[in-house]
Amino acid sequence: MASLVEFCLMVYLLAHLIQVRRMLPGHEAAISESPFYGIMCTRFGRLLILFTFLIPLGVCTFVLVGVFPSLKAEWTGPHGVVGWVARWLLVIFLAITDTLLILQVRRTVALLDSRAKNAPASVEGQVT
């Protein structure tokens, strides 16, 4: 069940990233200053976000493929729910969602970077 909850959270985060990317034009400063998106503007932050997406995928895959089959005998519900097809489908859906999350983050960061490069130079220090 934890893997299913993880999948639902990843889908929610993907929907959130898509929504933020759509409203990015005109709100670049506010989005780049937010704690979640601001961290993506640094190399360390991008690496942290990448591991934040990859580690849960690895843990869910390990649990579904390595740990859960030994506990299958204790399952009291329908066996189709815990069968190898259902487990592998969940692993595939988790991998697809994780890949889409990483691509969405890369697109959002690229859009933020391109907007920052195209922004006019700062006028600090100029005397009027």
Alpha helices in 63-83 (DSSP H): 68-71
Please calculate the CA angle 48-121-106 and round it to the nearest 5 degrees: 25
Query: Cα dist. 111→18, 21, 39, 86, 125 in Å?
Result: 12, 8, 15, 37, 28
Domain boundaries along the sequence of the chain: 10-112
pTM of structure: 0.67
Over the stretch 19-49, which tens digit does the pLDDT of each residue have?
A: 888 877 777 777 777 777 767 777 887 788 7
Per-residue pLDDT of the chain (128 residues; tens, 9 = 90+): 777 788 888 888 888 888 888 877 777 777 777 777 767 777 887 788 788 888 888 888 887 777 766 666 666 666 666 667 777 888 888 889 888 888 888 888 777 777 666 655 544 444 44
